[in-house]
Structure 1
């Protein structure tokens, strides 16, 4: 489950960065993109933790890898 969330957040952020560069001519620094991906992952886990107990374990797992 965590791998899917990470993959989704990464693809979403890279696609958004691509569109900003292509259409607006604006680029973001890699550390900023990384923080955006990390925030998106944490928000997804926190937003769904009330649904399943699995998401609490995912958050703990995600925090261990920081």
Structure 2
């Protein structure tokens, strides 16, 4: 489940960067991408923390930082 969340957040971040470059001509740093991905995964986990499959995901995510 955690790999899937991280993959979705990564794809979303790359897609947004692509759109920013094409439409706005603005680029962001790699560090910013990592922060956005981390924030997105944390938000999804926190938003669903009461569900059965998400109860221990935050611990797992923080362990791999």
Across the aligned residues of Structure 1 and Structure 2, the Cα RMSD in angstroms comes to 0.8
Question: TM-score with structure 2 length normalisation?
Answer: 0.94
Q: Where does structure 2 lack aligned partners over 5 or more consecutive residues? A: none
Q: CA deviation at 1:53?
A: 3.1
Mapping 1:10-21, distance limit 5 Å: 10-21=10-21
SS at match of 1:34: helix
Alignment of 1:21-32 (within 5 A): 21-32=21-32
Structure 1 length-normalised TM: 0.93
Cα offsets for 1:3-45 (capped at 9, x unmatched): 1101100000100001000111000011011100000000000
Mind listing any 5+ residue stretches in structure 1 that lack a counterpart? none
Aligned residues: 65
